[in-house]
Amino acid sequence: MPELQYLIFTVIVLALIFDFINGFHDTANAIATSVSTRAIRPQQAIIMAAFLNFVGAMYSTGVAKTIGGDIVSAAELVDERVIIAALVGAIIWNIVTWWLAVPSSSSHALVGGLIGAVLVSVGSTGLNFYGIGKIIVALIASPVVAIVTGCIVMNVLFVAFGKSNPHIINSRFKRMQILSAAAMAFSHGSNDAQKSMGIITLALVSGGFLAEFEVPFYVKLLCATAMAFGTALGGWRIIKTIGGKIFKLEPISGFAADLNSSIVIFSATLLHLPVSTTHVVSGSIMGVGTAKRVNAVRWGVAQQMVTAWVLTIPCTALMGAAAYQLVLMLF
């Protein structure tokens, strides 16, 4: 029992570190557009995003149940060492991509790390392929949906305000961007923080500390707080990539991108589906840019980001598998 308690404690600490890095890594998703258009000062944007990330994280646990229950076939087949290995693989990937200033998906990293650790520990019987397929479809489809709907939203705004004075319109949308950034921060918290909640709850169930998969309130509180603190520190390297290197944003296009992203992400939360906020926001910006002019989007930068997205799950699966071997040596 003492060893099991130690392993559970390790899982919780690593999950909170992952959540902290997730907030740190993904701050750009919520505030990059409003900061890049100077609609709000960076420090004010980060404080707002941190608070609304916390509020969003406390909203529900549907995504947590999907992460904790749909990747593995049964909690009894997965011990704490597997979960520790998955978290280590995901954390390393997040740190590396942050250092390289490449927007990457914490969701993909966590799913990949867990798949790799389960495969090397108990084999393919430990995986719920239907559940994994559902999650991967959501992860792939969400940025595509964001591109299409982002283009639609921007075209609607062009029709509505195309004949207005550009200076006046951008001045008004600067103020409206604060509201769209707030909505984006809330939706980000409502989806992303639940991934760590799901992992911690999975460990508690597999360790016999919980009889059924229900996220305890203290787990919600810990994960929401960890993400909020990570967001408060901010990820400036990623902000530069998302806010300016994909497409030169103006207040009206920044508003369209944030509004579209928040709708797509919160819709996924209501459907209990984990999505990558990085992918959705980047997709929204590409869609908004395409509505203005296809060659206005810097597709070279977009291609680099897509490459990172495609590589994330296989790379983190290998990291999770390697980390499992290391964990067996240490524990």
- In angstroms, rounded to a whole number, what is the distance separating the alpha carbons of residues 117 and 319? 8
Residue 330 has pLDDT above 90, yes or no: no
Q: What is the pLDDT of residue 75?
A: 83
Q: pLDDT above 70 covers what percent of the chain?
A: 90
More confident residue, 143 or 34: 143
Q: What residues contact residue 158 under an 8 Å CB cut-off, 6+ apart?
A: 291
- In angstroms, rounded to a whole number, what is the distance separating the alpha carbons of residues 68 and 203? 9
172-222 pLDDT, tens digit per residue, is: 888 888 898 899 889 988 998 888 999 999 999 988 888 888 999 999 999
Rounded mean pLDDT, 84-90: 93
Q: What is the pLDDT of residue 2?
A: 65
**Averaged confidence pLDDT in the chain:** 85
Rounded mean pLDDT, 306-325: 87
273-308 pLDDT, tens digit per residue, is: 999 887 888 888 888 888 887 776 776 766 766 777
pTM value? 0.86
| DSSP-derived 3-state class of residue 127 | strand
Residue 4 has pLDDT above 90, yes or no: no
The strand pairing partners of 72, in sequence order, are 127
Task: Provide the pLDDT confidence category of residue 31 given band limits of 50, 70 and 90.
Answer: confident
Closest by CA position to 92, among listed 324, 325, 317, 316? 316
Closest by CA position to 116, among listed 326, 313, 312, 317? 317
Q: What is the pLDDT of residue 295?
A: 75
- In angstroms, rounded to a whole number, what is the distance separating the alpha carbons of residues 205 and 214? 9
Rounded mean pLDDT, 92-98: 84
More confident residue, 169 or 319: 319
230 in Cβ contact with 244 (< 8 Å): no
State the burial class of residue 221 (Cβ atoms within 10 Å of its Cβ: 0-12, 13-18, 19+): middle
Q: Which amino acid is at 58?
A: M
Residue 235 has pLDDT above 70, yes or no: no
- In angstroms, rounded to a whole number, what is the distance separating the alpha carbons of residues 307 and 290? 20
- In angstroms, rounded to a whole number, what is the distance separating the alpha carbons of residues 197 and 68? 8
Q: What is the pLDDT of residue 216?
A: 93
Task: Provide the pLDDT confidence category of residue 323 given band limits of 50, 70 and 90.
Answer: very high
124-153 pLDDT, tens digit per residue, is: 999 999 999 999 899 889 988 999 999 999
Task: Provide the pLDDT confidence category of residue 241 given band limits of 50, 70 and 90.
Answer: low
